[in-house]
Amino acid sequence: MTAKSMRVLFWSETFWPRVGGVENLAAKLLPALQHRGYEFIVVSWGTPDLPREQLYEGIPVYRFPFFSGLAAGNLDPLMETSAHVAKLKRDFGPDLVHINSYGRSVLFHLITANTHPAPMLLTLHQALPNEPVGRETLLGKILQTVDWVTACSAAVLDHTGELVRDIIPRSSLIYNALEVPTFDPQPISFDPPRLLCLGRLVPEKGFDLALTAFTTILDRFPGARLVMAGDGPERERLQQQMIHLGLVNSVEFVGRVPPETVAHLIDESTLVVIPSRLEGFGLVALEAALMARPVVATHVGGLPEVVVHEQTGFLVESENSHALAEAIALLLNNPATAKKFGQAARSRAEEVFSWERHVSAYDALYRRLGNYERRVVST
């Protein structure tokens, strides 16, 4: 099947205008593939603040309330949503359904799968929970049912294969990627040192560890600054921690940052700190690399595939704010090393995480899956 004739239903529980690694990637990938001839619609989880239908770069986005509106004993909203999804599938007639990250809304895809059978692709951006995947679970059923699984890192791919062995022959790695920024990074400034933490303010990002580590950094580098960019449910707790640690004059919470300004924010930084407890890939590490900034990150998930220890940054033990502080201090005390790491990170990122290669990989996979049998699935 050629790109020019393929219709793809992109099922992404969160999507533009939501901001985040998964959302930002999808927002770039779809227009790039559209440019290669694919026709898309997006199905996403609706919330009251977003319109039910909207266009993104000419791509129709349909948002459904999914599990909202249910009341005791009344399944009408659920059935109504299923009917709407089924109609959308009948009207659009997808040649492929691409599920972008597992989420419970895929139940509605499964229960309407036979309305218009099409091959299914699932992309995993996070590692699955480290427990057996039951066959009588939505996750188990979607993994049994999809024709192909891609993972954003070898860590996620390998972990998924360990949990669900029959995925192995129908899965592959497609690294996340980003376009090279349109401007050259400025030389790294160390005076004063500016550390950056960027991401959703949720416990898995480990920003509490960065705050603790920063107290040590501030002792050694009194003029240092830490910027916390992002928002989330942990914001208040982190701000309380900042106050408790006496960091009010040295730490700044700047809130959510529009994707198009991230490169500039990194450009203003000396280095980027990624103290994650869980990380499927570590898109922020790639963003830092493309701006030639060294990274100090935890050795978790996909981060060791993006950050090469002692070549493009340092990897430290998870949950260890002391190790985090020592690694940061080592870079701040050795600007030449930090700059060398940054340059190496950029060169490697351009080669290993090439945007063109990423888009081409999905292009080739879409065309291959488009020739798969359209089978009725047992859901």
Partner 1 sequence: MQALHYRLRPREEVAAKVIDGEAIIINLANGVYYSMDKVGGLIWDLLQAGNSLEEIIVAVTDRYDVSREKVEADIQELVEELLRENLVALSEDGAGPAETRQIAQEGKLLYEVPKLNIYRDMGDLLALDPPVPGLGDTAWKDPTGGSSGEPTA
Residues that bind partner 1 (CB under 8 A): 47, 66-79, 82-83, 104, 107, 111, 134, 136-139, 141, 378-379
**CB nearer to partner 1: pick between 82 and 276:** 82
- Smallest separation (angstroms) from partner 1 to the CB of 7: 24
- Smallest separation (angstroms) from partner 1 to the CB of 243: 25
Q: How far is CA 42 from the centre of its chain?
A: 17
**CB nearer to partner 1: pick between 66 and 314:** 66
- Smallest separation (angstroms) from partner 1 to the CB of 307: 33
**CB nearer to partner 1: pick between 48 and 258:** 48
**CB nearer to partner 1: pick between 216 and 379:** 379
Residue 83: partners with Cβ closer than 8 Å, 6 or more residues away: none
**CB nearer to partner 1: pick between 67 and 355:** 67
- Smallest separation (angstroms) from partner 1 to the CB of 11: 16
- Smallest separation (angstroms) from partner 1 to the CB of 379: 6
- Smallest separation (angstroms) from partner 1 to the CB of 120: 17
**CB nearer to partner 1: pick between 65 and 185:** 65
- Smallest separation (angstroms) from partner 1 to the CB of 110: 9
- Smallest separation (angstroms) from partner 1 to the CB of 124: 16
**CB nearer to partner 1: pick between 106 and 295:** 106
**CB nearer to partner 1: pick between 67 and 253:** 67
